[in-house]
């Protein structure tokens, strides 16, 4: 099946119906294994047991940026290739991305209080992630504010691409500025600096959360396609009644 085939919403819905149970099952298994490994992971020599927050904070932080990346590709699909499902994909991803960003902020705050002595600090990493969260909310508000889906799609696509500038700022904020947030310890030149006892559960949780995103995103896209079908049928009904 090619990308062109998936442009047909009916074919996409059929594929989603087949894929969702498998994705949901794989997600549940990986997250359960990841939680078990996180529970069994040793304490860090400096942070003690609070290192366990890392296993949920880091995957959510990665996904907060990854989802915006997915939306940026979808925005190109809307503006350049005019793929019929590109806007559906972007709109369906936004609330899920907002939830991951919210969780990254809150778990980071709960990790920061015992380690840094504060829930919040206006440093570059924390502030740029807060900006990302606000951009997700802004995009969701924009989609709700514009009634015509095609007009909303173009405006949202432009805003998404402008907002993508924030992604490298978030990623490199800990290198460019002197921040309270620690530098990257997994995705860095020279390989991960984490011990295997922490790295393996972290990667299992990261794959589990990524599958969770795929599952929720496909299900939300299916809902959005049905919502648009409802809208077009309601318009047909209205025009039939007017005739």
Q: How many CB atoms lie within 10 A of CB 104?
A: 24
Instruction: Assess contact for 135 and 71: CB atoms under 8 A.
Output: no
167 contacts other proteins (rule: CB under 8 A): no
The correct pick among 29, 80, 158, 226 for binding other proteins (CB under 8 A) is 226
Judged by CB, which is closer to other proteins: 134, or 230?
230
The residues pairing with 48 across neighbouring beta strands, listed in sequence order, are 44
124 contacts other proteins (rule: CB under 8 A): no
Structural Rg of the chain based on CA atoms: 20
Closest CA to 202 of 168, 210, 216, 183: 210
Q: Which of residues 55-94 bind other proteins (CB under 8 A)?
A: 56-57, 60
Instruction: Assess contact for 103 and 56: CB atoms under 8 A.
Output: yes
> 165 Cβ partners below 8 Å, 6+ apart?
none
Instruction: Assess contact for 43 and 197: CB atoms under 8 A.
Output: no
3-class DSSP assignment, residue 44: strand
126 contacts other proteins (rule: CB under 8 A): no
The correct pick among 61, 103, 204, 206 for binding other proteins (CB under 8 A) is 103
The torsion angles phi and psi of 44, rounded to 5 degrees, stand at: -75, 145
Instruction: Assess contact for 204 and 37: CB atoms under 8 A.
Output: yes
5 contacts other proteins (rule: CB under 8 A): no
Q: How far is the CB of 177 from other proteins (least distance, A)?
A: 26
CA dist., res. 40 & res. 120, Å (int): 29
Q: How far is the CB of 73 from other proteins (least distance, A)?
A: 22
The correct pick among 64, 107, 128, 160 for binding other proteins (CB under 8 A) is 107
CA dist., res. 99 & res. 64, Å (int): 8
8 contacts other proteins (rule: CB under 8 A): no
50 contacts other proteins (rule: CB under 8 A): yes
The region of 99-107, 134-142, 156-164, 184-192 touching other proteins under the rule CB under 8 A is: 99-107
Q: Which of residues 177-216 bind other proteins (CB under 8 A)?
A: 212, 216
Q: How far is the CB of 78 from other proteins (least distance, A)?
A: 22
237 contacts other proteins (rule: CB under 8 A): yes
Size of the site for other proteins (CB under 8 A): 43
3-class DSSP assignment, residue 195: coil
Quick one: how far is CA 86 from the chain centroid? 16
Q: How far is the CB of 144 from other proteins (least distance, A)?
A: 14
Contacting residues toward other proteins, per CB under 8 A: 10, 13-14, 17, 35, 39-40, 42-43, 48-50, 52-53, 56-57, 60, 95-96, 99, 102-103, 106-107, 110-111, 113-114, 212, 216, 219-220, 222-223, 226-227, 229-230, 233-234, 236-237, 240
């Amino acid at each position: 099946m090619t990308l062109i085939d998936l442009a047909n919403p009916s074919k996409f819905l059929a594929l989603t119906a087949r894929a969702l149970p498998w994705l949901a099952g794989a997600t549940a298994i990986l997250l359960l294994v990841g939680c078990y490994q996180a529970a069994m992971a040793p304490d860090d020599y400096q942070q003690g047991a609070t290192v366990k927050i890392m296993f949920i904070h880091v995957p959510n932080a990665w996904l907060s940026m990854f989802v915006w990346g997915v939306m940026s590709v979808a925005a190109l699909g809307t503006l350049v290739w005019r793929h019929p499902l590109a806007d559906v994909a972007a709109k369906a991803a936004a609330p899920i991305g907002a939830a991951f960003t919210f969780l990254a902020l809150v778990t980071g705050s709960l990790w920061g209080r015992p380690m840094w002595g504060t829930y919040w600090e206006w440093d570059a990493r924390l502030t740029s992630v807060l900006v990302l969260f606000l951009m997700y909310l802004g995009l969701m508000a924009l989609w709700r504010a514009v009634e015509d889906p095609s007009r909303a799609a173009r405006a949202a696509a432009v805003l998404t691409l402008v907002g993508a500038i924030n992604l490298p700022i978030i990623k490199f904020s800990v290198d460019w500025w002197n921040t309270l947030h620690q530098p990257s310890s997994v995705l860095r030149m020279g390989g991960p600096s984490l011990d295997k006892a922490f790295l393996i559960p972290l990667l299992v949780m990261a794959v589990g959360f990524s599958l969770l995103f795929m599952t929720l995103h496909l299900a939300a896209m299916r809902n959005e396609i049905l919502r648009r079908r409802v809208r077009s049928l309601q318009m047909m009904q209205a025009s039939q009644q007017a005739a």
